[in-house]
Amino acid sequence: MKKLVSKFRSSHGPGRWVFVCCQVFCLICCQVYAQQIEERYASGQVKARGARVGSAKSGEWVYFYEGGAMSAREYFIDGALDGEVTYWYPNGKLQAKEHWSAGVLEDSAFYYHDNGQLEKKGRFLHGQYEGEWRHFFTNGLTERTLIYDDGLPEGPASVYNETGTLVQEGGYHHGREHGDWKFYSTQGELEFIGQYENGKEAGTWYQFRKGKKRVYKKWDP
């Protein structure tokens, strides 16, 4: 062994030798201080399995329902979620996929109904909804679309019924209904037109019946 070490030191120089020693030391420290943990339900079934460095979760953690099916897979760095997180329903269907960075939700996220159909999808920025989020019914058709800015609805919005017919359209500003809104029947026929100002009805609202437009209500300024 001494001959091998001497040979390595002479062929690679002292700098390379110090680098390798540091790597070996870090590996040994991780093996010593990363303690494998297994949490259990009162029934004895495994509830969670992963590693801790001190009190902080580290690396991959896997979670289980009491029946034994996997419920989640998470990744940690220094106790904070970091990386892709996946969740499952008890029936084994995918429930959600998220991306975390240093304990904060970031980037694309997908959530599913328990029948496997997509429930909603969008993007997080610093833990807040950002950009377009689209929601879906269990039959796969779009339920509504919203644009978010810093976690609040901002801009155009559309709402549909379970047959795919547009039933509402309007806009938001700072998380509140604002500007012109239109409301349609379940068959897609225009029924009402009105305005919102900071989440409250404003101005004159109109109703449509058999193609005729009439004043529905006037809101105090």
Residue 82, SS3 per DSSP: coil
Of 63, 65, 83, the closest CA to residue 73 belongs to 63
SS3 186: coil
Tell me the three state secondary structure of residue 86.
strand
- For the chain, the C-alpha Rg in angstroms (whole number) is 28
Cβ neighbours around 146 below 10 Å, total: 21
Q: For residue 186, which phi and psi values (nearest 5 degrees)? A: -65, -15
Q: Does 5 reside within a domain? A: no
Q: Which CATH number do you get for residue 153?
A: 3.90.930.1
Name the DSSP class of 120. Answer: E
Spatial contact of 179 and 196, defined as CB atoms under 8 Å apart: yes
Among residues 85, 89, 121, the alpha carbon closest in space to that of 105 is found at 85
Over residues 150-182, the pLDDT tens digits come to 999 999 999 999 999 999 999 999 999 999 999
Q: Is residue 169 part of a domain?
A: yes
Q: How far apart are CA 122 and CA 161, in angstroms?
A: 20
The Cα 127–Cα 200 span in angstroms is: 28
The answer to whether position 15 is within a domain reads no
Domain interval for residue 74: 40-218
Residues in contact with 67: Cβ distance below 8 Å, sequence separation at least 6, in sequence order: 45, 90
> Is residue 16's pLDDT more than 70?
no
DSSP type of residue 175 = T
Count of residues in the chain: 221
Q: Is residue 131 part of a domain?
A: yes
Average pLDDT over residues 47-65: 97
Q: CA–CA separation, 122 vs 191, rounded Å?
A: 31
How far, CA to CA in Å, does 118 sit from each of 88, 121, 153, 158, 184?
Answer: 13, 8, 21, 18, 25
Evaluate whether residue 103 is within a structural domain. Answer: yes
Chain mean pLDDT for the chain: 89
Q: Does the pLDDT of residue 124 top 90, yes or no?
A: yes
Number of helices (H) and strands (E) in the chain: give both, helices first. 1, 19
**What CA–CA distance (Å, rounded) separates 34 from 55?**
10
Q: CA 15 to CA 148: how far, in whole Å? A: 53
Please count the structural domains in the chain.
Answer: 1
pLDDT greater at residue 81 or residue 220: 81
Residue 2 falls inside a structural domain = no
pLDDT more than 70, % of the chain: 85
Q: Is the dihedral of CA 110, 113, 117, 120 positive or negative?
A: negative
**What pLDDT, on a 0 to 100 scale, did the predictor assign at position 211?**
82
